[in-house]
């Protein structure tokens, strides 16, 4: 056996051994430690390590403390700022981990049933209708190229804010036999068109040939509010018009308290629904400034209580949420908020905003007995895990009402105009 062959044989054995070591679970977990770790002040994260491994910080400062033994590495966040952790295996550097500590941040969880009143920008076109004239049936609005889902914002240079603004222009235009100059907004932008109103046969009034509406209402669930700014988030998904199925463009709106009157229980292929009414006092508890894919957002007039968890709780970012037991706060009768058990079936650590970050399953026998699982009107119910607010219920699976999607709280905070990273970035710069 020559020396070259022996050298190659030993090299091959070492290579195979190294590859095999990498597939040993503790070592694989060591390599799986993320390249970036974000913590809030006071939080601690524990990571497994192997005997031959060691960890160190780039600088010994007051931002984060490191401790380790033969089995684990622990990072304890002390104050906002940034640091770096270096991992070594058998004396060789294998990974650099950026550690970002954010200012301690807490929100008050919701769970209350709320009534939602939206005031749209202009008036919403929800359908076409035929006007019976002496020449036959025709829809002036359709002939003018106005589409379902369009929003009429201007007629003859005048701003349109509500349905009652439209009628005088229509009648005047018809009598003068002059077309209306109309501006509508749609997803592609603003569109200008002309519309000639038509008189219904055997009637005196002129008509547009359009069905229009100027506001929308519904119910949902409060997710959270920030005790200092009173900024809130609710629903966890966009409000779309029931007729056009398109997101409603909000000029402003209000939220009021609501009371659940009954539950239509869900079943496979038929999601259930909370039936509710606005509370009798109709007290406005907050405004609506934004209707986005992540819910509705605005500011409360004052703090509100759920009677179950009325103290501010820490939050979890998307990468900190884990599979396993959790709870939701929601109302199934009157206005009483209760805590129910669920399971986080899967969760996706997201670097960019997305509306579906978790799959959840209702496990609480009381909630299953009452609702069959997730029902309409439950959207926005805050999800609590390990004493932290982690997100909100958004959608139910049509063919399995016990399960549905959740959105990570991180993205709802962003939509509410709350930047949890801002102060940390300012300090780092």
Phi, psi at residue 261, to the nearest 5°? -95, -30
Q: Which of 363, 401, 75, 150 is nearest to 263 (CA)?
A: 401
Q: Is 72 a catalytic residue?
A: no
Location of structure tokens 């009034």? 205
Q: Is 364 a catalytic residue?
A: yes
340-367 burial by CB neighbour count: b if 16+ within 10 A, else e? Answer: bebbbeebeebeebebebbbbbbbbeeb
Exactly one of 241, 292, 364, 424 is catalytic; which is it? 364
Q: Which residues pair with 221 in a beta bridge?
A: 113
Contact 349, 423 (CB under 8 A): no
Contact 264, 273 (CB under 8 A): yes
Reported in sequence order, the residue ranges of 15-163 that DSSP labels E, i.e. its strands, are 36-40, 44-48, 53-57, 64-68, 72-77, 81-89, 92-102, 106-109, 113-128, 131-133, 136-138, 151-155, 158-159
DSSP state of 163: G
Which residues lie closer than 8 Å to 175 by C-beta, 6 or more apart? 206
Exactly one of 237, 318, 403, 424 is catalytic; which is it? 237
Cα 158 to Cα 91, 154, 168, 182, distances in angstroms? 75, 5, 12, 9
Phi, psi at residue 219, to the nearest 5°? -130, 160
What is the sign of the dihedral through the CA atoms of 17, 18, 21 and 22?
negative
Exactly one of 139, 318, 379, 424 is catalytic; which is it? 379
Location of structure tokens 């770096």? 84
Question: Residue 206: helix, strand or coil by DSSP?
Answer: strand
Query: What's the rounded Cα separation, in Å, for the pair 383 and 342?
Result: 9
Contact 389, 276 (CB under 8 A): no
Structure tokens at 19: 């590859």
The set of catalytic residues is 237, 364, 379
């Amino acid at each position: 056996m020559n020396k070259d062959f022996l050298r190659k044989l030993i090299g091959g054995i070492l290579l195979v051994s190294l590859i095999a070591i990498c597939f040993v679970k503790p070592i694989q977990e060591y390599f799986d430690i993320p390249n970036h770790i974000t913590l809030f002040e006071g939080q601690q994260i524990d990571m497994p390590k192997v005997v031959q491994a060691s960890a160190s910080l780039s600088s010994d400062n007051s931002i984060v403390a490191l401790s380790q033994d033969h089995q684990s590495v622990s990072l304890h966040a002390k104050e906002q700022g940034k640091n770096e952790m270096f991992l070594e295996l058998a004396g060789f550097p294998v990974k650099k981990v950026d550690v970002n500590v954010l200012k301690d941040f807490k929100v008050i969880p919701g769970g209350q049933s709320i009534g939602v009143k939206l005031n749209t920008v202009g008036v919403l076109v929800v359908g076409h209708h035929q006007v019976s004239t002496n020449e036959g049936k025709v829809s002036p609005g359709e002939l003018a190229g106005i589409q379902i889902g369009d929003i009429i914002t201007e007629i003859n240079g005048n701003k349109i804010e509500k349905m009652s603004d439209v009628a005088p222009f229509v009648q005047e235009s018809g009598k003068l036999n002059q077309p209306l100059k109309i501006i509508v907004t749609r997803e592609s932008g603003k569109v200008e068109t002309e519309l000639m109103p038509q008189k219904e046969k055997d009637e005196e009034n002129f008509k547009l040939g359009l069905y229009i509406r100027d506001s929308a209402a519904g119910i949902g669930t409060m997710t959270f509010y920030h005790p200092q700014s009173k900024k809130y988030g609710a629903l966890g998904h966009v409000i779309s018009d029931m007729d056009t199925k398109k997101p409603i463009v909000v000029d402003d709106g209000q939220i009021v308290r609501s009371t659940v009157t009954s539950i239509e229980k869900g079943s496979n292929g038929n999601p259930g629904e909370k039936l509710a009414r606005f509370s009798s006092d109709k007290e406005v508890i907050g405004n609506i400034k934004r209707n986005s894919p992540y819910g509705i957002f605005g500011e409360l007039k004052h703090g509100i209580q759920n009677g179950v968890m009325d103290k501010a709780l820490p939050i979890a970012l998307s990468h900190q949420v884990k599979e396993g037991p959790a709870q939701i706060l929601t109302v199934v009768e009157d206005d009483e908020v209760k805590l129910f058990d669920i399971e986080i079936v899967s969760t996706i650590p997201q670097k960019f905003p997305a509306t579906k970050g978790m799959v959840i399953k209702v496990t609480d026998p009381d909630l299953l007995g009452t609702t069959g699982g997730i029902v309409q009107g439950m959207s926005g119910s805050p999800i609590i895990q390990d004493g932290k607010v982690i997100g909100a219920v958004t959608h139910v699976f049509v063919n399995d009402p016990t399960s549905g999607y959740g959105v990570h709280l991180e993205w709802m905070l962003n939509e509410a105009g709350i930047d949890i990273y801002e102060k940390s970035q300012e300090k780092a710069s």
